[in-house]
Every structure is written in C-alpha cells, then in structure tokens.
Amino acid sequence: MNVLVKSSSGITQVSADSKLLSQRKVFIEGEISSESACEFIKKILILNEEDTDKPIDVLINSPGGEINSGMAIYDVIQASKAPIRMFCIGRAYSMGAVLFSSGNHGRYMLPHSELMLHEPLLGNRVSGNSSSIQSISESLLETKRRMNQILARHTGKSEEEVEKATSYDHYYSPKESREFGLCDEIVDFNKIMEN
C-alpha cells in the first residue's frame, strides 16, 4: 500500500511501511518467523541509529510463532537504547504475548484486543528414536522454564503462578491482562497517534 506525501519538492508516493517507520512505528504482525524477526531487527537498528532518546512504538497483532525467532526479537527489545512502547492492536498470542509483556517503557492494549499464553509447543510431529525424543522433550522443558522466567520477570508474578497460567491456552482480556501484570494500561487509538 502506498500513501501520498507532500514535501517542498511536490507530492511523492511512499509505502505505508516507510511512512510509519519515519514516525517510529514498527509492526509485529502475522506469524513470527526468522524472516519477520530479521525485518523487525533491521528497523529497530535504523531507528536506534537515528535517535536513541525518541520512543519507538511497536504494534503487535500476531498469533505467535517460532520461539527462536521470538527470542531474537525479545533480545533486541530488551537491549534497545531507544525506549520501546508496546501496543497490542488485535491479538498477541503465545510468543506474541511474551514479546508484548516484555515492554519496559509502556505496554498498552486497545479495548478489544486480547492476549493468550500457553506452554511452548512442538512445531512438527515428533519422530526418531527414544534418545532423540528424550532430547527433544528435555529441550522443550528447558524452553518452558525460560519462558516462565521471562514472564515472571515482566509481570511480577512468581514462576509457579506463571506456570499455572501457561498450563493451558489462557486468554486474557485487557482488564485481565492488566490484573495479571501483562499490560500497563488500556488505551484508545489516539494513544498510538501521539508522537
């Protein structure tokens, strides 16, 4: 999608993504994958290079996705010198909810958005010998422990409380998200429009 931009040299067409990036707005949308993680990281690098004081708004509408790709995004959010504000603009499920809750400079949900937490899932059918299956199981349990530690750190809940909450697909309204410590504030669209 392209938008028209007026400047001193006339009217030009730019992509909506470019226009939003110039306003320091970055999206995590759709399935989280290695490709989407790399695109996100590139944008955060550019915005940090431009200005480390001005906030970056990350707008999330994602069903989740690959844990390793999500952890790459998480590391960048935590290390960004520019403050990153998180906005849930629809749904933030699974890894999307972990990323949303990890915001250190404001975690905002629109009134009809939703979070969902659960245990890490295997992406593919499990096959192989018993040693391979045992190794996969141990790795999955370690990933679950790491995810629970991250959620505990960002929600103020104990790891035991997080483990209980993630033992099944647990859906959170904005109000429930705030009560559990996943969200700071429920806001309307105008908050996203602020610069």
By annotation, the residues acting in catalysis are 94, 118
Residue 176's SS3 state is: helix
Residue 113's SS3 state is: coil
Which tokens is 12 given?
């030009």
Residue 48's SS3 state is: helix
CA angle 171, 194, 172 (to 5 degrees): 5
CA angle 119, 122, 128 (to 5 degrees): 140
Which tokens is 190 given?
């105008």
Residue 188's SS3 state is: coil
